[in-house]
Amino acid sequence: MRRITLKGNSIVSEEIQETEPAGLRAEALAKDELTIRGVSKSFGHVQVLHQVSLSITRGEYATLLGPSGCGKTTLLRIIAGLEIADAGRVLLLGQDITDVPANKRSVNTVFQNYALFPHLRVADNIAFGLRARKFVQAEIDRRMAAAVEMLELGDFLARWPDQLSGGQKQRVALARALVNEPEVLLLDEPMSALDARLRAEVQIDLRRLQKALNKTFIHVTHDQDEAMTVSDRIFVMNRGAIEQSGTPEEIYEHPATRFVAQFLGAANVLEARSGEGLVVDTALGVLTVTQMPAWDKGAVAIRPERVLLRATKPATNAARGVVTETIYRGDHVDVYVRVGTLNLRVRTHPSAETAPGKHVYVGLPPEHLEVLRD
Ligand SMILES: Nc1ncnc2c1ncn2[C@@H]1O[C@H](COP(=O)(O)OP(=O)(O)O)[C@@H](O)[C@H]1O
Ligand SMILES: [Mg+2]
């Protein structure tokens, strides 16, 4: 067998021992914690998942991000074994677990409402799964102690669930899942029962916990800020399919589709026709781009904070417009600029140019003008 590698700037092709590929293969499989291949699911006549494929690396904090009803929970339940896919496979550490029942999968779920047992004290809630699996007491004690310390639950062990705050309930739910030492932890909208301030805190705690445990987390949310805060990688879902995946920065800076551009951070999307070379024709005129569009008719996008707002004409991709509205937001100002029939959103700092009625120039730097796939 030949192995082809890149060494410095040259491609090296070398003959390798037959014993080596097996080792390499095992390593590659071990890095792929969870793989979904072509999973489809319908409820009655409604198809909610359309051939979803994705691969999550071991130790990764992955997020499924999408609007309500796009199929996130259904996909998570298929991973957990709580729902059966109509087609497709689920692999855990390279092993096909599609037909393995939920309680035999090394996967635990923290549900949206935490689903704590109201008639059990915190300690018994946490130990419940371990007792059900008939672990010896010493092992139960060891795992409980580790989870209780990690989640700072020592003071609450004798309480009933209804004596806990939302944040404490969530920590109990996490402890109850983590004592099972699952390969993968699934979290379905884990912040939805918390108020906004606590949510921001818990997001950072969750991320720290995941990094400390070095476990694979798959987190479902419809909240883009939450996804950006916790994730190593975001899978953006829309209508039962994954539109784009990447690090928070990749997805934010380089949205691939109209949906992603507008769902994350509300970009300006301009209808466009491709011109000769690296230009597109839009309502703002002919604009220079840095990627060749794969379409004749499509769209380009730019983030509000990337649009230049100037009293004098910017050198490239400039247009003249009038400020229609300014919204003060403390650390920045959202300015709406009407250019022809378009209303561009620009995020900037307060200045003389930003008063309604002012005539201004906008500039769309080519390096920040994303050519969308569709
Ligand atoms: N058990 C079910 N029976 C019928 N329809 C369902 C069932 N579960 C989910 N759905 C439908 O499937 C779609 C996706 O739901 P879900 O996966 O819960 O979305 P999300 O978690 O992204 O909000 C929705 O239209 C929902 O109404
Ligand atoms: Mg859901």
The two structure tokens encoding residue 23? 């080792």
pLDDT score recorded for residue 35: 96
What residue segments make up the domains of the chain, in order of their start?
35-253, 266-371
pLDDT score recorded for residue 330: 87
pLDDT score recorded for residue 201: 86
pLDDT score recorded for residue 4: 46
Ramachandran angles phi, psi of 23, nearest 5°: -60, -45
What pLDDT digit, counting tens, does each position of 290-307 carry? 999 999 999 999 999 999
Q: Report the C-alpha gap between 307 and 321 in whole angstroms.
A: 13
Q: Per-residue confidence at 235, pLDDT binned at 50, 70, 90?
A: very high
Instruction: Say how many Å lie between the CA of residue 188 and the centre of ligand 2.
Output: 7
| Ligand 1, CB within 6 Å, residue ranges | 43, 48, 66, 68-74
Which residue's CA is the closest to the ligand 1 atom numbered 5? 43
| Mutate-to-test residue for ligand 1 from 39, 64, 73, highest number of ligand atoms within 8 A of CB | 73
Rounded mean pLDDT, 112-135: 92
β-pair partners for 323: 337
What pLDDT digit, counting tens, does each position of 331-355 carry? 899 999 999 999 999 999 887 678 9
% of the chain with per-residue pLDDT over 90: 76
pLDDT score recorded for residue 21: 45
End-to-end CA distance of the chain: 41
Which residue's CA is the closest to the ligand 1 atom numbered 4? 43
Which residue's CA is the closest to the ligand 1 atom numbered 7? 43
CATH for 266-371 is 2.40.50.140
Helix (H, G, I), strand (E, B) or coil at 321: strand
Instruction: Say how many Å lie between the CA of residue 69 and the centre of ligand 1.
Output: 6
CB 355 within 8 A of CB 326: yes
pLDDT score recorded for residue 346: 96
pLDDT score recorded for residue 18: 44
Q: Report the C-alpha gap between 354 and 369 in whole angstroms.
A: 22
pLDDT score recorded for residue 247: 97
CB 89 within 8 A of CB 53: no
Helix (H, G, I), strand (E, B) or coil at 146: helix
| Mutate-to-test residue for ligand 1 from 48, 86, 186, 188, highest number of ligand atoms within 8 A of CB | 48
Which residue's CA is the closest to the ligand 1 atom numbered 14? 71
Q: Does 121 have pLDDT greater than 90?
A: yes
Name residues whose C-beta falls within 8 Å of residue 145's C-beta, 6 or more positions apart in sequence.
none
User: Which residue from 257, 225, 228, 230 is spatially nearest to 241, judged by alpha carbons?
Assistant: 257
Q: Does 5 have pLDDT greater than 90?
A: no
What pLDDT digit, counting tens, does each position of 7-50 carry? 444 454 555 444 444 444 455 555 689 999 999 999 999 999 99
Rounded mean pLDDT, 132-154: 92
Chain mean pLDDT for the chain: 90
What pLDDT digit, counting tens, does each position of 158-194 carry? 999 999 998 899 999 999 999 999 999 999 998 888 8
Q: Does 86 have pLDDT greater than 90?
A: yes
Q: Report the C-alpha gap between 214 and 254 in whole angstroms.
A: 28
Atom of ligand 1 nearest to the CA of 74: 17
What pLDDT digit, counting tens, does each position of 257-271 carry? 999 999 998 899 999
H or E element: which one contains 38?
A: strand 32-43
Angle at CA 116, nearest 5°, toward 129 and 34? 60
pLDDT score recorded for residue 303: 95
Kind of pairing, strands 233-238 and 61-65?
parallel
β-pair partners for 187: 110, 219
Name residues whose C-beta falls within 8 Å of residue 330's C-beta, 6 or more positions apart in sequence.
none
- Maximum distance among all Cα pairs of the chain, rounded to whole angstroms: 76
**CA dihedral of 350, 356, 360, 366, whole degrees rounded to 10:** 70
CATH for 35-253 is 3.40.50.300
Ligand nearest to the CA of 84: 1
pLDDT score recorded for residue 353: 74
% of the chain with per-residue pLDDT over 70: 91
Q: Does 156 have pLDDT greater than 90?
A: yes
| Mutate-to-test residue for ligand 1 from 43, 77, 222, highest number of ligand atoms within 8 A of CB | 43
Rounded mean pLDDT, 67-90: 97
